[in-house]
């Protein structure tokens, strides 16, 4: 009876977190367990209307174990990444008052409660559109709401999201975000910080061309392990190239210098894919449709005399493109639809028109 | 009357030179005029039965200017590369006795005689199969025959072929050839030398898969100029990576270590294409068919436990593959024909089975 009352209650929170696209790429870990990168990275957060994860987390004494549903399908929550996030969040839980009953869930109770997690993406999973970034950012954010977690230092939650998926740490902020690789062994300083609100650069328009929604053959995790192990060019890139580019990109964003932003974004995307090709065995994420998109943009920019559009590709064939302004974005969509008619066999099947969040 | 007699005679020579495929790639010049490379390279000379140029050179007082026919079509001989080769060869001409008349063509006469050149390839031109290498090697060699040129130092002719097309210097020898980048400003020491006769490694079988016989969009000449100008990874590769690999490759060839030969060959091909991708705007020579070929070989080698086949791609989508021995070569052809049935839309249209020359 008393037990039944105990079991009766359940608390839950729902949150949504956007995906993000790196313009200075993250590829390679120096610590697999703590997910510490070999270089810093910079990203733009996408519009949650188009690319986001929505996660509901619930806690109840009636739950006998932690459980997880991704896009409606139950999957194991025993993976180290989920365990680490849950452990770190439980450790930071504080008193929560249940409004209906006035009952207080104390830190001690949180440590005994099991969590049910249900998460959904509104875009293809594992197709190089940073689904895991949105997913883990959303998990950490919703648990923070549920457990009333307060950050002891700025970016503390991003460091926990990082334990789930490196790039997830960049999805906890909107606009332009930098993930500082950090130096400390425990990863405390490997956190994300916001460089600028999206409102800082309103003209910028993001267009996503989904070349293929198939899941990628090589996961980012194993891909970057192979690259770190076998690509001498990746080591050189991380140590010599990226530090320079991070500074240049921060400056370009601060000054809204689209030409410079586009130059660095395209060059860094191509250099990232170059290090994948330098991996043994080589990793290919771009396909012939991706290359046609690149050709289209490069010809356009050359013809225009200065960059109008930038492209970047993560670990998949899908392009994220940045248009200088709305007029250019409309032109870009026209050209994409002309070059890749949805009917044609070219598997460029969908476009998304996004402002970024 | 005397004039007519003068005009009556013509001397000619015909020669054939094979193409070659680099296993340590040449990409980038430190001197555009003298065609001096930013790194040394190593190649395997192909079987002239399958990939070669045949050139006939003729001289007669009746010829009013130098003329050139490529694959039956007359083209200008005013290009610097042809001019340089002709100039250097004329400067080295020695007395030639015409058997029929006993007439002697002296060095002084050679300097006044015009040359007609007719050259043909038995394979697609400018499709990344080193047609210019075979062509200029053949031009220099046939002129040496015609003008009775004797080398003052070993490799002197290779340095002249280099003035026509860098990789041409490697086509003057059979078997395994090294192009030493050299140090001197005049390029005298940027010559090719033979590492080993083909007979040194008889087991090795070369198979060429012609993915496309279309001419490449980006010529090697302009492509490597762009890469030298814009790819930081190319600079690192040339200065830090290639010197190590040259030594490793020489050792692998000397000891007929196929596993090591295959490892370096594939890695260097992929790294070369990685630097093309790191170029701004990026250069793509591989297409989806090329990547399927690479995947086929990589899976096979991994499954076999040690490399059975190596692949390498020059500035085009066509694969040159090395099979460990004849048995493997037969297997490879079977798998290629199964994976790329000539009927299918995949544009892998032709295979060549070669022993190398």
- Please write the tens of the pLDDT for every residue from A142-192: 999 999 999 999 999 999 999 999 999 999 999 999 999 999 999 999 999
B173 and B282 fall within a common domain: no
B158 and B195 fall within a common domain: yes
Least confident range of A215-229, B184-198, B204-218: B204-218
B173 and B285 fall within a common domain: no
pLDDT at B357: 36
Per-residue pLDDT tens over the stretch B289-336: 999 999 999 999 999 999 999 999 999 888 999 999 999 999 999 999
B333 and B218 fall within a common domain: yes
B159 and B182 fall within a common domain: yes
* Residue A356 located in a structural domain: no
* Number of domains within chain A: 2
* Residues contacting B106, CB < 8 A, separation 6+: B95
Give contacts of B287 with chain A, Cβ < 8 Å. 288
CA distance B184 to chain A (A): 29
Give contacts of A284 with chain B, Cβ < 8 Å. 291, 294
Query: Confidence class of residue A51 from pLDDT cuts 50, 70 and 90?
Result: confident
Q: pLDDT at residue A116 above 60? A: yes
A277 and A169 fall within a common domain: no
B92 and B231 fall within a common domain: no
B246 and B138 fall within a common domain: no
Give contacts of A281 with chain B, Cβ < 8 Å. 266, 294, 298, 302
Q: Residue A333 has which token pair?
A: 């969509």
Report the C-alpha gap between A15 and A19 in whole angstroms.
Answer: 13
Higher pLDDT, residue B111 or B351: B111
Kindly identify which residue of chain B lies nearest to residue A310, measuring between CA atoms.
B281
pLDDT at B50: 81
Q: pLDDT at residue B144 above 70? A: yes
pLDDT at A348: 40
Query: Confidence class of residue B210 from pLDDT cuts 50, 70 and 90?
Result: confident
CB proximity A346 to B under 8 Å: no
pLDDT at A184: 96
B285 and B324 fall within a common domain: yes
Kindly identify which residue of chain A lies nearest to residue B275, measuring between CA atoms.
A274
Q: Within 10 A of A16 (CB to CB), how many other CB atoms are there?
A: 18
pLDDT at B185: 95
pLDDT at A213: 63
DSSP string, A239-308: IIIHHHHHHHHHHHHHTT-HHHHHHHHHHHHHHHHHHHHTSSS------HHHHHHHHHHHHHHHHHSS-S
Per-residue pLDDT tens over the stretch A58-102: 999 999 999 999 999 999 999 999 999 999 999 999 999 988 888
CB proximity B244 to A under 8 Å: no
Give contacts of B277 with chain A, Cβ < 8 Å. 270-271, 273-274, 277
Reduced to 3 states, what is the DSSP secondary structure of residue B308? coil
CB proximity A19 to B under 8 Å: no
Residue identified by tokens 């190089």 is: A128
Per-residue pLDDT tens over the stretch A217-276: 788 899 999 999 999 999 999 999 999 999 999 999 999 999 999 999 999 999 999 999
Residue identified by tokens 């910028």 is: A204
Can you give the CATH number for the domain in which B223 is found?
3.30.70.890
Q: pLDDT at residue B263 above 60? A: yes
Which residue, of B144, B166, B200, is where some domain finishes?
A: B200
**Mutation site for B-interface testing, chosen from A211, A227, A233 by largest number of B Cβ within 10 Å:** A233
B342 DSSP 8-state letter: T
CA distance A215 to chain B (A): 17
Query: Confidence class of residue B167 from pLDDT cuts 50, 70 and 90?
Result: very high
CB A59, CB A299: distance < 8 Å: no
pLDDT, chain B, mean: 91
Give contacts of B237 with chain A, Cβ < 8 Å. 233
Which run of H or E residues covers position A53? strand A52-60
CB proximity A256 to B under 8 Å: no
CB proximity A216 to B under 8 Å: no
CB proximity B222 to A under 8 Å: no
* Residue A357 located in a structural domain: no
Is B232 in Cβ contact with A233 (below 8 Å)?
no
Closest CA to B313 of B341, B285, B334, B355: B285
Is A281 in Cβ contact with B302 (below 8 Å)?
yes
Helix-then-strand count for chain A, H and E: 11, 17
Which value does ipTM take for this structure? 0.87
* Residue B355 located in a structural domain: no
Query: Confidence class of residue B219 from pLDDT cuts 50, 70 and 90?
Result: confident
pLDDT at B126: 53
CB proximity B233 to A under 8 Å: yes
| Residue A261 domain boundaries | 205-350
Is A302 in Cβ contact with B282 (below 8 Å)?
no
pLDDT at B255: 98
CA distance A218 to chain B (A): 12
Report the C-alpha gap between B216 and B13 in whole angstroms.
Answer: 32
CB proximity B211 to A under 8 Å: no
Give contacts of B274 with chain A, Cβ < 8 Å. 233, 274-275, 277-278
Which residues are registered as beta bridge partners of B121? B53
Closest CA to B315 of B206, B229, B224: B224
Query: Confidence class of residue A50 from pLDDT cuts 50, 70 and 90?
Result: confident
Which run of H or E residues covers position A333? helix A326-339
Burial B139-175 (b: 16+ CB within 10 A, else e): bbbbbbebbbbeeeeebbbbbbbbbbbbbbbbbbbbb
A168 and A254 fall within a common domain: no
Query: Confidence class of residue B173 from pLDDT cuts 50, 70 and 90?
Result: very high
Report the C-alpha gap between B126 and A319 in whole angstroms.
Answer: 31
Is A275 in Cβ contact with B266 (below 8 Å)?
no
Report the C-alpha gap between A151 and A30 in whole angstroms.
Answer: 25
Query: Confidence class of residue A209 from pLDDT cuts 50, 70 and 90?
Result: confident
Can you give the CATH number for the domain in which B167 is found?
3.30.230.10
| Nearest 10 degrees: Cα torsion B55, B59, B63, B69 | 0
CB B126, CB B53: distance < 8 Å: no
DSSP string, B213-277: -SPPSS-HHHHHHHHHHH-HHHHHIIIIIHHHHHHHHHHHHHTT-HHHHHHHHHHHHHHHHHHHH
Q: What value does the mean pLDDT take over residues A317-330?
A: 95
Distance of CA B243 to the CA centre of its chain: 21
* Residue B71 located in a structural domain: yes
CB proximity B229 to A under 8 Å: no
pLDDT at B293: 95
Is A274 in Cβ contact with B277 (below 8 Å)?
yes
Reduced to 3 states, what is the DSSP secondary structure of residue B180? coil
Give contacts of A278 with chain B, Cβ < 8 Å. 233, 267, 270-271, 274
Closest CA to A163 of A243, A81, A104: A81
Listed in order, strand segments (DSSP E) in chain B are 11-18, 20-24, 29-31, 36-37, 41-45, 52-60, 67-70, 73-75, 96-97, 104-105, 114-121, 176-179, 192-196, 205-210, 309-313, 319-323, 350-354
Which residue, of B185, B200, B215, is where some domain finishes?
A: B200
Per-residue pLDDT tens over the stretch A180-189: 999 999 999 9
Is A270 in Cβ contact with B282 (below 8 Å)?
yes
A187 and A312 fall within a common domain: no
Query: Confidence class of residue A355 from pLDDT cuts 50, 70 and 90?
Result: very low
Which residue, of B183, B200, B217, is where some domain finishes?
A: B200
Query: Confidence class of residue A349 from pLDDT cuts 50, 70 and 90?
Result: very low
Report the C-alpha gap between A138 and A161 in whole angstroms.
Answer: 9
CB proximity A243 to B under 8 Å: no
Beta pairing, strands B67-70 & B114-121 = parallel
Q: pLDDT at residue B272 above 70? A: yes
Is A273 in Cβ contact with B291 (below 8 Å)?
no
pLDDT at A347: 41
Least confident range of A310-314, B171-175, B193-197, B353-357: B353-357
Q: Residue B109 has which token pair?
A: 């006469």
Report the C-alpha gap between B139 and B144 in whole angstroms.
Answer: 8
* Residue B85 located in a structural domain: yes
* Residue A346 located in a structural domain: yes
Q: pLDDT at residue A27 above 60? A: yes
Higher pLDDT, residue A170 or A351: A170
B216 and B153 fall within a common domain: no
CB proximity B282 to A under 8 Å: yes
Which residues are registered as beta bridge partners of A354? A206
* Residue B32 located in a structural domain: yes
* Residue A285 located in a structural domain: yes
pLDDT at B216: 66
CB proximity B277 to A under 8 Å: yes
Kindly identify which residue of chain A lies nearest to residue B289, measuring between CA atoms.
A288
Give contacts of B294 with chain A, Cβ < 8 Å. 281-282, 284
pLDDT, chain A, mean: 91
Which of B275, B282, B288 lies at the smallest CB-CB distance from A288?
Answer: B288
CB A309, CB A332: distance < 8 Å: yes
CB A318, CB A210: distance < 8 Å: yes
CB B139, CB B99: distance < 8 Å: no
């Amino acid at each position: 009876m008393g037990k039944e009352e105990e079991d009766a209650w359940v608390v839950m929170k729902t949150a949504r977190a956007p995906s993000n696209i790196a313009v200075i790429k993250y590829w390679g870990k120096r610590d697999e367990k703590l997910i510490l990168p070999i270089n810093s990275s910079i990203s733009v957060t996408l519009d949650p209307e188009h690319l986001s994860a929505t996660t509901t987390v619930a806690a109840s004494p009636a739950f006998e174990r932690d459980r997880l549903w991704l896009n409606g399908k139950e999957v194991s929550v025993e993976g180290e990444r989920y365990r680490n996030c849950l452990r770190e969040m439980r450790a930071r839980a504080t008193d929560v008052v249940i409004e209906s009953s006035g009952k207080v869930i104390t830190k001690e109770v949180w440590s005994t409660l099991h969590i049910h997690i249900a998460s959904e993406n509104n875009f293809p999973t594992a197709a190089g559109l940073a689904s895991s970034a949105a997913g883990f950012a959303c998990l950490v954010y919703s648990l923070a709401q549920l457990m009333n977690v307060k950050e002891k230092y700025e970016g503390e939650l991003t460091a926990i999201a990082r334990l789930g998926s490196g790039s997830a740490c960049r999805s906890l902020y909107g606009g332009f975000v930098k993930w500082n690789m950090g130096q400390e062994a425990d990863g405390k300083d490997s956190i994300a910080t916001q460089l600028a609100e999206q409102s800082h650069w309103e003209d910028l328009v993001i267009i996503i061309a989904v070349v293929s929604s198939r899941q990628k053959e090589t996961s980012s995790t194993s891909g970057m392990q192979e690259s770190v192990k076998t690509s001498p060019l990746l080591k050189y890139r991380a140590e010599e190239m990226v530090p320079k580019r991070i500074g240049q990109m921060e400056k370009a964003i601060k000054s809204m210098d689209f030409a410079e932003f586009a130059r660095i974004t395209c060059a860094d995307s191509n250099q990232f894919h170059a290090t994948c090709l330098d991996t043994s065995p080589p990793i290919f994420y771009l396909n012939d449709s991706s290359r046609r998109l690149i050709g289209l943009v490069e010809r356009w920019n050359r013809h225009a005399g200065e960059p109008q559009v930038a492209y970047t590709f993560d670990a998949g064939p899908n392009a994220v493109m940045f248009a200088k302004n709305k007029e250019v974005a409309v032109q870009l969509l026209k050209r994409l639809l002309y070059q890749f008619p949805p009917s044609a066999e070219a598997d460029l099947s969908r476009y998304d028109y996004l402002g970024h969040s």
